[in-house]
Amino acid sequence: MSILPVILDTDPGVDDALAMMLALSSPELEVLGVSVVSGNVPLATGTENALKVLGLMGRTDIGVYVGADRPLVRDPVYAKEVHGNTGLGQARLADPGVAVAGDGVAFLVETLTDRPGEVMLIAVGPLTNLALAEQQSPGVLQKARQVVVMGGAIREPGNSTPAAEFNFYADPDAARCVIQSGAQVMLVPLDVTHQVILGREMLEKEVASQNTDRSRFLMDAVQDMLRFAEQTGGREGIYLHDPLAVGVAVAPELFEVETMRLDVETQGELTAGQVVADLREIREEIRQGRKVHCTIRVDCERFLGLFLGRVLGRGSLS
């Protein structure tokens, strides 16, 4: 089995932590490092959370790199109402006592430059670090084997505004920069992440019953998200947004992909962060926007089995 080198760019965040756990539990992947960006929580909190999740997983050998503490242009926005004040819900993890490894943007530039065509970049937060890397070293994102981005909404409504998903809303200028970079982008939008719900019943049956460090962390971490989902949408479960981006790297056969031309709105008073896909029935060559691969469907049952099996340490994809 060939092993795929990956970088995780993240803003932990409960589902970011779950994405990290999935990546670190997947033998198909070699996690070269974790770069952190302001997003779900302020940068310092997210950095601390990344270090703690690596400690939980026994992987403090992997470096955590500190990236951007604010968006390119806009003021920072956070999602503490979803992820809790610490970003990890009600979970409490020990400080592993490990220092950060360096600068996040420099790490992206250096790694992609040193290993052109080899490294998959999995970005599950606002795209500020990636945009800064592209600005500092034009063309560097094209050196990634693929840039998997959890973000945006195409035919699905947004979750931060009627038009925009959180990561793209938090830094629409960065999202547009990455989409327009010419990199091999694979978008994982709300259109596909809203197809996978980890329900309360499944959590109680499959997770709480395990009574391990990992299962206890997962149950404690998701409680605030469960409460938010019930209060705002009457939903008895959470979406696995960020783990699905890791799923694209681990098990691409579970996903159906469509190629579209699209762009990102940066200025709209009501539409900042909106993905604008040219879905008109006209000749492809005259459609507007950059060509981007977009996941549109996923085998929900198999992905949930993969996710729970790996994260809980029970085995691999079946």
**Residues identified as active-site:** 241
Pairing mode, strands 275-277 and 255-264: antiparallel
CA distance 97 to 50: 12
Q: From residue 46, how far is each of 13, 104, 236, 280 by CA, in Å?
A: 7, 13, 27, 40
CA distance 272 to 173: 9
